[in-house]
Amino acid sequence: MIAKISSGKDTAGLIRYLFDTKKAKDHTDPHLVASWDGFAPDPGRTDDFTATKRLLVADLDLRVKQSRRLGRAPERHVWHCSLRAATTDRHLSDEEWANIARRVVAATGIAPQDDPDGCRWVAVRHAPDHIHIAATKVRGDLRPARHWNDYLTADRELATIEKEYGLLQVVRGDRTAARRSTRAEQEKAHRQGRDKSARERLRTIVRTAVAASTSTEEFIRLLSRTEGVLVEAVYFPSGDVRGYKVASEDNLTASKEPIWYSGSTLAPDLSLPRIRARLEATDPQPTNQPSKRSPRSPNPWHQATAATERIPHHLTGHDDGASQAHLAAFGEALDVLPLLAPAPIRAQLREAASAFERATRSRIQAEHHHARALRSATRAMLREPAPSDGTALAMLLDAAILVTIAATRWHQLRHHDQQVTAAQQTLLHLQAAYDQAATAPLTALIRRRPPQPTADRHVHHIRRAVPEHSEHVLADPSIAALTAALAEAETFGRDPERLLRQATDQRALDDARSPARTLAWRIQRLSQRPAPSGRARAAQAHSAVRPNGAPSAPAHETTTVSPQQPPAHRR
């Protein structure tokens, strides 16, 4: 059930609208279902509509007029609240709507329960699925109504009502969602033949510019270079950016003036202070990038994939601020992927980025320095296109799918309903994009599968290295891709079992649709790293032994404690 609350100056005008059956086609049989004392005159149940309506308005405005003589009446004295049930809900009776209206006016402070000085109000039903509550905001003691945060208090009461009445339980937010486009903005976009309003298009453009920038100056510069976007920046005397606003060249007022949006009106995290906090947690990128990367220098796509793969592990920790930062950085990675992906999957990636935008924010404040690795790798990806074979993109999308599943679970545990829905929608788009992106590189990898004796040997390696996942992996139809990746890694001088342990160490695998494919991508990425020198291998062997000589436990055998379940006390 949804509540919409507004204020006005004209009691008579509101009552006239609520009982109108001529202009409003959906108004059928308008009548009162409840009132402040149960005896208010009902224009919908009388032969003299005009006279009764006048009486009702006079009764509602009585205290307003008394208060006005004392100079206390609020300028906008009318309180209007509409309550609408979902289209799938059953039709409530007049008695049920009356009870709901009484609970809402009590919860919001308009007419607290058992308060004889509560405001005067009426509830009008003129359609099967909703009612309107009209009230005047002057109490019986001629003081203004105490209805602060009325939308939130009404929403909390409606959540309880939905459960008690067996109605659809609406997904509720935490006031961190981006502002929705108005009906006027949506209709204007429709007239222009666009599927999104100017507000939504600008929000996407600004988010992409943030994801591609390492400083506020670069952010403003990228926005200024974007075709069709107008930018105005405000500067401090020192020359530092103080604020900004953006407009679309084709979104003008009747007087041909641009319609400007500040960052905070596009989304809560697009205000300049929020953007600056994210950019300060980003390593600067080299301006003179060489044309060819050194064979031993890190591949930014592999770095981004490795950082993405670690996010599910971070989300199981106890630091919610760090977890929120990783989700925000992951959202930035999704924002830039449409710029780097091949044309056939760009639409799906744009939809994924747009959907996950809601999952990047909550009431938990992000500590952005925790996600420096992914954020910096994302910027580096923009300076080095993905290899043409599509393998790097498929690897990253495979990891992104597991992050989205983990993000859904993380938000569910914290009752972030809107964020859960957003992550679930993101997952559908990412899976569709991955299925397209992975087809060609997987096919090429399977063609390079080794002879059967070699494949059987690698099956033995899988059983030994990852016994907890081996049956699931070996039953996967993509096992040929994994054995091919292990065979190629072995030709590079890598130990297949060591790579398998590395690939499963602290990485989510249970959620993978195809664990064999996920391991194949990880094996390929790990095997492409420069081989460790003899001294490095000796150091690794030394670090695997504790100071007292006892071997340390493998990382995958380390016990972790769920943040929702306290550790058991030792006896």
For the chain, the average pLDDT equals: 89
The tokens describing 258, both together, are 């641009």
pLDDT at 552: 41
pLDDT over threshold 90, residue 183:
no
Report pLDDT digits (tens) over 43-64: 999 999 999 999 999 999 999 9
Confidence of residue 565 (pLDDT cuts 50, 70, 90): very low
The tokens describing 337, both together, are 């992927």
Single out the residue of 150, 135, 6, 146 nearest to residue 63, CA to CA.
135
Single out the residue of 186, 206, 346 nearest to residue 263, CA to CA.
206
Q: What is the 3-state secondary structure (H, E, C) of 494-510?
A: CCHHHHHHHHHCCCCCC
C-alpha 249/C-alpha 258 separation (Å) is 7
Give the CA angle between residues 152, 158, 162 to the nearest 5°: 150
- DSSP H/E element including 32: strand 31-35
122: three-class secondary structure by DSSP: strand
Report pLDDT digits (tens) over 527-549: 887 655 555 455 545 544 444 44
234: three-class secondary structure by DSSP: strand
Long-range contacts of residues 139-148, Cβ cutoff 8 Å, at least 24 apart: 139/63, 140/63, 140/116, 141/117, 142/63, 142/66, 142/67, 142/70, 142/72, 143/72, 144/72, 144/74, 145/79, 145/109, 145/110, 145/119, 146/109, 147/79, 147/108, 147/109, 147/110, 148/109
Q: Kindly provide the b/e burial profile for residues 418-455, where b requires at least 16 CB atoms within 10 angstroms of the residue's own CB.
A: bbbbbbbbbbebbbbbbebbbeebbeebbeebbeeeeb
C-alpha 357/C-alpha 334 separation (Å) is 9
Report pLDDT digits (tens) over 281-310: 888 776 555 445 555 677 899 999 999 999
DSSP letter string over 329-397?
Answer: HHHHHHHHHHHHS-HHHHHHHHHHHHHHGGGG--SSPP-GGGGHHHHHHHHHHHTSPPPTTSHHHHHHH
Report pLDDT digits (tens) over 466-506: 999 999 999 999 999 999 999 999 998 999 999 999 998 86
For the CA atoms of 272, 275, 280, 283, what is the dihedral angle to 10 degrees? -140
Chain centroid to CA 76: 35
Query: What is residue 134's DSSP assignment?
Result: E
Residue 51's identity, in one-letter code, is A
Q: Kindly provide the b/e burial profile for residues 383-399, where b requires at least 16 CB atoms within 10 angstroms of the residue's own CB.
A: eeebeeebbbbbbbbbb
pLDDT over threshold 50, residue 7:
yes
